């Protein structure tokens, strides 16, 4: 048995032997599912309801939870809510015999990786678990590759974004940007989105909020990596880009930053520019 996390927080990594938690009020389902997964080399524990599952999550260090929805006491829906709020690094798969459109939508809203219906084909269960763990590995790898905010010149910060920008990463990015901008007394902050894999309304909102936060501190914000497709997407999403400087390439953003430092951030040469899909970036 691997050691438990003293503060109860789920691990932001995949363990050498992944730990799984099976939650179901039917003993036969719990034991059968656990036996199948143990044969695949996983360390598996079980819980008969949502409250027992939360207790084990607090004491242990799990990579994935596989849970039913209809259970006595704390049901699966409440458990999903608590896992998303308290253990964001834990992958979740729903395995239920009471499937409905409403329950599937609710599960996806709570960040569930997949939704299986009982009785489930053994091979489907095994494949879904493997894919969920691989998804977690890739997500954590992306976070490792995401560089922190760095000062590349006096007064110029660079914040490269890689992969998905979810709520957790957006909060970390904003906090790091504000802290470093203040600490370094930065004049220009370059946010490079070349590595962002998805640009939707959720990601766009986080991006623009970060830019506005930087500008409130008196620094100029430049978004780089904005190609024609991304620009059109942002405009289509209704994002207000007025007053935000954008550049297609990071090198162009660096040149703009240098000009700003030489001429003064408030000069006409570095005045904010409005972006449209046909603008030259």
- CATH number of the domain within which 257 lies: 3.30.750.24
137 and 167 co-located in one domain: no
Q: Cα separation of 281 and 276, whole Å? A: 9
120 and 175 co-located in one domain: no
Confidence class for position 99, pLDDT limits 50, 70, 90: low
Contact 44, 59 (CB under 8 A): no
Whether pTM exceeds 0.85: no
CATH number at residue 119: 3.40.50.2300
pLDDT score of 225 more than 50: yes
pLDDT, average across residues 53-57: 95
109 inside domain: yes
14 inside domain: no
136 and 31 co-located in one domain: yes
**Where are the alpha helices (H) located in the chain, listed in sequence order?**
27-39, 50-59, 76-86, 101-109, 122-145, 167-184, 201-216, 228-236, 250-263
Can you tell me whether residue 181 is helix, strand or coil? Answer: helix
Which of 88, 114, 143 is the last residue in one of the domains?
A: 143
pLDDT score of 202 more than 60: yes
Can you tell me whether residue 129 is helix, strand or coil? Answer: helix
Q: Which two tokens stand for residue 149?
A: 């905010």
Contact 184, 153 (CB under 8 A): no
Supply the range of the domain harboring residue 36.
19-143
pLDDT score of 279 more than 50: no
Question: What percentage of the chain has pLDDT greater than the value 90?
Answer: 32
214 inside domain: yes
Decide which of 8 and 35 is more confident. Answer: 35
The confidence score (pLDDT) of residue 166 equals: 67
121 and 160 co-located in one domain: no
Most confidently modeled range among 25-39, 108-122, 191-205 = 25-39
177 and 162 co-located in one domain: yes
3 inside domain: no
194 and 236 co-located in one domain: yes
223 inside domain: yes
Q: How many domains does the chain have?
A: 2
103 and 79 co-located in one domain: yes
pLDDT score of 186 more than 50: yes
156 and 66 co-located in one domain: no
Helix axes 122-145, 27-39, angle to 10 degrees: 60
91 inside domain: yes
pLDDT score of 9 more than 70: no
The predicted-structure confidence for 103-159, as pLDDT tens digits, reads as follows 777 777 778 999 999 888 999 999 999 999 998 887 777 666 555 788 888 889 998
4 inside domain: no
Q: Cα separation of 246 and 252, whole Å? A: 9
**What contacts 24+ positions apart, CB below 8 Å, involve 274-277?**
274/241, 274/242, 274/243, 275/226, 275/231, 275/234, 275/235, 275/241, 275/244, 275/246, 276/231, 276/235, 277/228, 277/231, 277/232, 277/235
Contact 272, 243 (CB under 8 A): yes
The confidence score (pLDDT) of residue 43 equals: 96
Which of 128, 143, 158 is the last residue in one of the domains?
A: 143
184 and 264 co-located in one domain: yes
Ramachandran bin of 185, using left for φ above 0, alpha for ψ from -120 to 50, beta for the remaining angles: left
Contact 5, 61 (CB under 8 A): yes
166 and 88 co-located in one domain: no
227 inside domain: yes
When the pLDDT of each residue in the chain is averaged and rounded to a whole number, the result is 81
Which of 96, 125, 143 is the last residue in one of the domains?
A: 143
């Amino acid at each position: 048995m691997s050691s438990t996390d003293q503060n109860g927080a789920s691990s932001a990594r995949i363990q050498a032997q992944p730990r799984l938690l099976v939650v179901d009020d039917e003993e036969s389902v719990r034991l059968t599912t656990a036996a199948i997964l143990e044969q695949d080399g996983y360390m598996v524990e079980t819980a008969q309801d949502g409250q027992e599952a939360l207790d084990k999550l607090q004491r242990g260090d799990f990579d994935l939870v596989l849970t039913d929805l209809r259970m006595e006491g704390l049901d699966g829906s409440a458990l999903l809510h608590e896992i998303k709020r308290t253990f964001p690094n834990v992958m979740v798969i729903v395995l239920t015999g009471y499937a409905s459109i409403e329950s599937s939508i609710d599960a996806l809203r709570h960040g569930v990786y997949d939704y299986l219906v009982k009785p489930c084909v053994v091979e489907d269960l095994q494949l879904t678990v493997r894919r969920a763990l691989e998804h977690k590995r890739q997500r954590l790898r992306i976070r490792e590759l995401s560089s922190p905010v760095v000062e590349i010149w006096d007064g110029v910060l660079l914040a490269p974004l890689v992969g998905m920008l979810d709520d957790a990463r957006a909060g970390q990015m904003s906090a790091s940007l504000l802290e470093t901008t203040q600490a370094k007394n930065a004049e220009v902050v370059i946010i490079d989105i070349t590595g962002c894999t998805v640009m939707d309304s959720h990601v766009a909102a986080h991006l623009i909020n970060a830019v506005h936060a930087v500008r409130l501190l008196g620094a100029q914000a430049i978004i780089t990596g904005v190609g024609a497709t991304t620009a059109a997407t942002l405009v289509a999403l209704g994002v207000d880009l007025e007053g935000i400087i954008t550049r297609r390439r990071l090198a162009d953003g660096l040149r703009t930053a240098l000009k700003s430092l030489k001429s003064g951030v408030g000069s006409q040469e570095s005045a904010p520019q409005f972006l449209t899909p046909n603008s030259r970036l």
